[in-house]
Structure formats: structure tokens, C-alpha cells
Structure 1
Amino acid sequence: MNFAYLNKMESCRDPGTRLYSTSQTTVDSSEVRTFRALAHKWWDEQGAYAPLHSMNDLRVPFIRDNLLKTLTEHQPGNPLSGMKILDIGCGGGLLTEPLGRLGASVTGIDPVDENIQTAQHHKSFDPILTKRIEYKACSLEAIVEENIETFDAIVASEVVEHVTDLETFIRCCCRVLKPGGSLFITTINKTQLSYALGIVFAEQIAGLVPKGTHTWEKFVSPEKLESILESNGLSVQTVAGMFYNPFSGYWHWSQNTSLNYAAHAVKSTAQETTVSAELVQSGESGTPS
């Protein structure tokens, strides 16, 4: 829901610098116009991004609790202290800020300048976040080479349904993620129900999100997402359904993944990757007899 990604964005900029682009189009101009027009509304809890504000009630604990499972000890007040997190498609910082307040060092990236400017401005109200959060106006692809195996966790919340090449996106995530690191994704399933409720109702009838925000063809099923993750050395730990009640304005966990869902995957360690590669080369199945 945050932005439109395209392949091969060649630059990564701090806010205020001009966009450098190759001859190839890097950002879907129609979607950028949509998010640019709404950039000043990110922190309006009753506005266009109200569902994302409410989603924090689920996604923040989901990320926090799964990361805590990987830590032998943590500070009670700053449970994610020492962890480096990349928030892809951070928008105005709705998820970036609570992760920073949990003690993590968070890098938030988004290709829409106005989103990053809004995020920077809002961050300035909390001195603690100034030291913990860094924002950059860029795509994921633009920062890969300088951040190989840098992050303990990556968050892509309401992002992959805007990606033009999901496999490339996941591959890039894997490259900047440390071995044993976690990838968290929330997105929309590709079903008839998600089209009816996610586009027809949410966009065209109820106006819960701006018209044109989503393209049903870009939605991805948990099965396809899991296949792509595993082919890139990521082991899926959890897939959980999410349901948004437009009348109450709250999200709930659900056993049904036909609409929205959250996924948590862990990157294989170097040792696991080496063993798997050796088994493939030797033609063994990897299952002891």
C-alpha cells in the first residue's frame, strides 16, 4: 500500500537531492502521483492511512516477538537494542518509528521524496528517534551493493503487492539480510475475495484507500510467496491471516489467509547453505536413510 517499485533504480539519495534516473523508467508515475498527493496525510490517524495505523497493533508485536526468539538476552525497556532493521517502503514512518522506540537501529527507505520528507519531519519530534532512525529516498535495489548481509531483519509491510518483479525484490532482500536474519512481510492474497473486498469495496465503494492504489494482478498468494522465499534460501516460519474490520477500524489475526496475511521467514546460515549446496552437487537427497 506504500509505493510502486520498479527494477534497477540507480540512485539512493538523502531527502532534498534531485532524482537521478537512467533511461529506463524506475518508478510508476501514476502510483507516485497518488502517494505524493497523500504524503502529508501519513500521520492522520483518521485519514487515508488509518488502516496502516491500526495494523501496527498486529505487525509491531509480530515483528518484536519473533525477533526476541532469536536473542539470548535483551533490555526490558529496549528489547530490540543492537538490532539493525531495514524498513522497505517506509512511507511516512508509521512502522519505522515504533521499531525505533523498541531500541532497534532502523533504516527506512521509500522512493517517494515527499514520503521521506514527512517521515523526517515527524521523527524530529522525538529526540530518541533521531539517533535510531535513518531515512533514505531510494529503492531497495539501489542500496544492495553497499549493504550485503548488513541487516538483522527486513520489514516489507504492504509493499510486495506493488513490486513489478517479486523474485528480484526477494533476491535483493536476501542479499542484504544477515545469515539467520528475519524477513517480515504483510501483503494481500490473490483471490476473488481480495479483489472484491480489497479493490472493489475498499477503493471504489467505501473509499478506505485511494482509487488505483492496488493492482490485483500484483497480489501474491502465500504459496507462491513461500516458493519464491525458499528458492532464495529463506525458510518460512509463520504465515498468519489478517482481517481488517472497516466498521471498527481494527485488525485481527485470523486462520483465514484469503485476504491479508503476514509471513515470517529466516535466511539460512552459511553452514546450512554450504551443506545444501554440497548435497545438490553430490546428488544426495539430504535425508538420511
Structure 2
Amino acid sequence: MAGKTLIKNIKNVRLHSSTIDNKEMLHFKKFVDQWWDEFGELKPLHAMNKIRLPWIRESLVTCNKMEDPSLPLKGYTILDVGCGGGILSEPLAKVGANVTGLDANVDLINSAKVHANLHKVNVNYVASSVEDHVQDNFEKYDAVIASEVIEHVTNKQEFLKACVQCLKPKGSIFLTTINKTWQANLATISLAENVINAIPKGTHQYEKFATPHELQRILEEYNCRTEVVHGTMYNFLTNTWHWWFNPSITYAMRAVKLDK
């Protein structure tokens, strides 16, 4: 039965999507069994939850009355695009959100389902590209998140277009990614990947990085107003993330979809 389900899922994923790079999918497939190892090769993603989860939560609830302090995101529908094995999807669900975790990598989605079931966390995981997903989920979500994803996307224009189409008017889109600067190239590829091995080699390609202005311009084309751009900084020695005054290496961005 599991094999049949896997085959069905593979057929439903458009692997030749304009936003999906099959080389990237094969790269991340290597880490299926390590995804939930907080001290393994993906530990920077786990560590990032300490700043990105409060940021998302506080950005959403400040404009609305909180029904239950223990479940601050109760009633919110959230799409986690490029969710991988669910490192961010599960914590969002634990604070009350109705989360759909979306990833084109079937192996990661299956792994995410197993982990969520094991820990009794309710997340709706879907193996799909975002442009396929929006066909039946137009303006469905209060928030769309693409965290540490867009630097792996082939066609950023189409990717962000589909993300925004999934978003309700007045909803928020959250992005975290790597800036396209020499500092970012030095820190994330030359140093982190090739010298100290803090990130698996081959994870990033400089030509896929994007500046905040580039993403802001695309979002404006799709009727989104950028509210904030935060610089972020990762300390490789302590495995900790911090907000930083300068977005020249990595940054987080939030934009709001305007009413029609």
C-alpha cells in the first residue's frame, strides 16, 4: 500500500515545473533520514526556528485579537512552501495554526508525514509544486511562508506569483533567504560550505540568490506591499541565529497582499 501511495504522489507532482530544479530535489533527497537530527547537517534550519517562529507568530497576532494565549495562531490557515520534512510546519501547528506543508520532493513529504504521525502533530502535508497547488487553493491562506526556499528556486517570478495567488487579501507572505552580494557568497559558499563544512557542499548556487529589492519588486507586481526587511545572522560556532541591522548576507522579509 505504501508503495502504491508513493507512486501516486510522484505522478501528481509536476517535476518539470518552471520553479523546480530537479538537481536541487536530488540534493535534498540525500538528507531525508537526517531531517530531524537537530545536531546534524541541517542544524541551522532547526536553530532558525528560535527567531522565525516568534517573528511569524507576532506578525500575525498583533493585528488581531488572540483567542487563546496557549494557541496564538488558532484559526489561522498557513501554507509552508518548501516545507521539507516539516521543521517549521510542526511548530506552527503546535501553536494552533491550520498548516499545509507543501514540497515537491515526495520522499521528504513522506518522511514529514511519518514524523508528524509519530509525534501526534496535525499537519496536512502535500507533495506538489506551488503552481499546481494554487489551482485548487486560490486565496485560501492567511499566511504563506517560503523560508530558506527561494534561493533554490529556478523561476522566482512564477514562484512568488503562485505564492501570492494562494494568499487571501490582507494576508502576509514571509520569506527568509540569502542576499545576492559578495559578502553572502563568501559567508555561505566559500566559508560555510567549502571551508568549515557547516553546510553540505553544493547546497547553494550564487546565481540563485536574490536581493531584497528584487523580491520586493516582484511582490509589488502581484499587489503586495513590503512591510519589513530584517537582516539576520547565523553564528556557525554557537549554532544560533540573531536579528541583524545589516541584510547583506541573509534576511527575512514580510509583505502584505493588498485588497483588490
TM-score (norm 2): 0.93
The answer to whether the Cα contact below 8 Å between 1:150 and 1:177 also exists between their aligned partners in 2 is: yes
Answer with 113-122 or 256-265: which moved more.
113-122
The aligned residue for residue 39 of structure 1 is: 32
Matches within 5 A, 1:1-289: 17-20=8-11, 25-26=16-17, 27-127=20-120, 129-130=121-122, 133-270=123-260
- Per-residue displacement from partner, 1:161-219 (whole Å, max 9, x unpaired)? 11111111111111110000000000000000111111111111111121111110110
1: CA distance, partners of 2:68 / 2:6: 33
Counterparts of 2:259 and 2:14, CA distance in 1: 38
Whole-angstrom distance in 1 between the partners of 2:178 and 2:22? 22
- Equivalent residues of 1:15, 1:136 under 8 A apart: no
* Preserved CA contact (<8 Å) 1:171 1:232: yes
What is the number of equivalent residue pairs in this alignment?
255
* Rounded Cα–Cα distance in structure 2 between residues aligned with 1:61 and 1:23: 33
CA deviation digits over 1:66-119, x for unaligned, max 9?
000231332111111011000000011000011001100000011111111111
Distance in 1 between the 2:13 and 2:138 partners?
Answer: 23
Which range is displaced more, 108-117 or 236-245?
108-117
Output the amino acid matched with 2:197. Answer: G
- Residue in 2 aligned with 1:11? none
Secondary structure of 2:160's partner?
A: helix
For 2:200, the aligned partner's letter is P
The residue that corresponds to 1:3 in the other structure is none
Instruction: Give the conservation status (yes or no) of the 8 Å contact 2:34–2:42.
Output: yes
| The structure with more radius of gyration | 1
Task: Give the fraction of aligned pairs with identical amino acids, expressed as a percent.
Answer: 41
Aligned equivalents of 1:57, 1:25: Cα separation in 2: 34
CA RMSD of aligned residues (A): 1.8
**Does the 8 Å contact 1:86/1:154 carry over to 2?**
yes
Partner deviation per Cα, 1:19-58 (whole Å, 9 max, x = no partner): 2389983443322221111111011011111000000001
- Alpha-carbon distance in structure 1 between the residues aligned to 2:9 and 2:138: 26
CA distance 1:104–1:263, shift in 2 (3 Å): same
Calculate the TM-score normalised by the size of structure 1. 0.84
Stretches of structure 2 lacking an aligned partner (at least 5 in a row): none
**TM-superposed deviation, 1:15:** 5.1
Distance 1:195 1:222 in 2: 15
Partners of 1:23 and 1:120 lie apart in 2 by 20
Letter in 2 for 1:230: E
State the secondary structure of the residue aligned to 1:20: helix
Change (3 A) 1:144 1:115: same
Q: In 1, Cα distance between the equivalents of 2:214 and 2:198?
A: 27
Pick closer, same or farther for the CA change 1:37–1:259 going to 2, 3 Å: same
Stretches of structure 1 that go unaligned for 5 or more consecutive residues are: 1-13, 271-289
Query: Partner amino acid for 1:42?
Result: W
